[in-house]
Amino acid sequence: MTPAWVWGDRRLWIDETLNDMLALSDRFVAAVGHSHIFVWRRDDGSEVRRFKKFLRPEQAWFTGSALCLEANGRVTVCELASGELREREPAADDPELPEVLRDRTGYTRTVRWADGRTVEFAYPNELIGRVTVGGGRIAVGHGMRSIDIRGAQDGSVLMTLDGACDGVLSPDGRWIAVGDLADRRIHIAEVDAWTPPNVDVVNGDIAALRLSPDGQRLLVVAGQHAWILRTHDGVTVGRLAGTVDPRAQWTEDGSAIVGPGGAGLVRWDAGSGAVVREISLGPRTKAAEFSMDARGELVAVVTETYPGGLMLVCGEEAVVHSLVDGSVVSRVPLLAIYDEHVILAPDGSELALVRADGVRVVSVGDVGAIREVARADWHGFVTNGLQVRGSEEEASRVVRVVDGVVEAEAEVGIMYRFTATRDGAWCAVAGADGTIWVRDAALQVCWTLPLKRHVMAIALAADGAGLFAGGWDGTVHAFRRPEDAE
């Protein structure tokens, strides 16, 4: 299944992990998070109140303007108007909730009504989550990624709601609120008009986002697989064959994608996703360093090989391969293991071996012509454009360098992810707290996106008006520049 897609951030969401407990009424919706209990108005999504979490409730429901939470045989009443909390014993006018029993493994549920009726159901290969009842329907969360709506009389499955691990029915059974542990969003919809929410459907974190040169397609790498999505609506238009490394890149004309994959180096057709050419590196060998020219015809790698057990053999040379005919174009010895990054020039004419104290530049195909240059004197394909100085642990700076001269510089704090447009006119920085800042050519902040989630990959449209972000929740979040999103 392809990564889910969201335009904007319009659903209710909380800034912490969502635990598996919801409550729903005709006016309010509530969710129990990791450390707080959140309550919103249903009509406009505004937050009414949040309470410091003090227990793990077994049942939750609204009565008038209060949220009631039951745990350990006691009911805590959370007054929405005053924020007051008070405890009481269960009352006769509390909702008549049927008794829900489960077996010790969690594979079977039995719903037992006071009048003696019993409905039993089982999921042999999946754990069953919370069960709620309303309007002659039963909502059963199972498999952590879907909810079954069953008939309360016989337990037959009426429909399945994909994309959520917890849900609660309204008393009349017409509405349902669903949430997801990873997505941290609450979705409210009519049961009979349900459409799947945009939540995690990817078996793995989103590791990379890459926009095509024309900005019309987005490459998404997640869980060692890759999809191509249209940027204006998120529709999947292709999937790359086999496994894909997050370092995969578009070629300059957008016709192909090149990167490590499987047991070697691969060139994929960007239309069909088929493998055009593959160069094998060996079943236990991977590309520790990878770089390509703009056309994707030449690739440079430094390898690591795992003979078995805990052994690791590091490559002692940088090798330039041709993806046109599969030949080896150059072999360049390394001076020190793990001390050099390997970068190919966009035109494929030169290979740079970058160290902390300098750069060796090699003419591809002519290994004898190696010249040593200092960083300050290193002009060309790496020093021009935007650079990042710093790390995830300390304050970083974004620097614009033209012919070795710093023309603009801005401190960006502790940076987690960085991306820039090809012309360097726009860049985006994701902080450790999930906030993303988009900066212009002068490195001034133009707009801020308080995403408040773990961001592992970001991509920026060429005009700086569109931002794409992904993380451990498996969702591609697409955002328009605020003045363009009206």
Q: Which CATH superfamily is domain 4-193 in?
A: YVTN repeat-like/Quinoprotein amine dehydrogenase (2.130.10.10)
In angstroms, rounded to a whole number, what is the distance separating the alpha carbons of residues 460 and 72?
A: 50
By CB neighbour count within 10 A (0-12 exposed, 13-18 middle, 19+ buried), where does 408 fall?
middle
Q: Highest mean pLDDT range out of 74-88, 174-188, 452-466?
A: 74-88
Q: Is the pLDDT of residue 304 over 80?
A: yes
Average pLDDT over residues 170-188: 73
Mean pLDDT, range 147-151, rounded to an integer: 88
Distances from the Cα of 429 to the Cα of 142, 198, 217, 435, angstroms:
38, 24, 21, 8
Poorest-confidence range of 23-32, 111-120, 175-184, 356-365?
175-184
Cα 366-370-371 angle, rounded to 5 deg: 145
Give how far Cα 422 sits from Cα of 138, 142, 145, 153, Å: 53, 45, 38, 61
Query: Do the beta carbons of residue 269 and residue 255 sit within 8 Å?
Result: yes
Would you say the C-alpha torsion 284, 288, 289, 293 has a positive or negative sign? Answer: positive
* pLDDT tens per residue across span 206-251: 889 999 999 999 998 887 788 898 888 777 788 898 889 999 999 9
CA distance 394 to 396: 6
Nearest to 460 by CA among 209, 206, 207: 209
Percent of the chain exceeding pLDDT 70 equals: 80
Residue 163 has what pLDDT?
A: 62
Which residues have a Cβ under 8 Å from the Cβ of 64 and sit 6 or more positions away?
none
pLDDT for the residue numbered 148: 87
The pLDDT value given to residue 201: 40
Structure tokens at 183: 């997505």
Please state which CATH class domain 384-486 belongs to. Answer: mainly beta
Q: What is the pLDDT of residue 299?
A: 96
Residue with the larger pLDDT of the pair 323 and 42: 323
Segments of the chain assigned to CATH 2.130.10.10: 4-193
pLDDT band at 18 (very low <50, low <70, confident <90, very high): low
pLDDT at 186: 72
Q: What is the mean pLDDT of residues 457-464?
A: 90
Phi, psi of 228 (to 5 degrees): -115, 120
Query: What average pLDDT does the chain have?
Result: 80
pLDDT per residue as tens digits for the range 97-107: 677 777 766 67
Q: Where in the chain is the domain with CATH 2.40.10.480?
A: 384-486
pTM confidence score: 0.59
In angstroms, rounded to a whole number, what is the distance separating the alpha carbons of residues 324 and 341?
A: 24
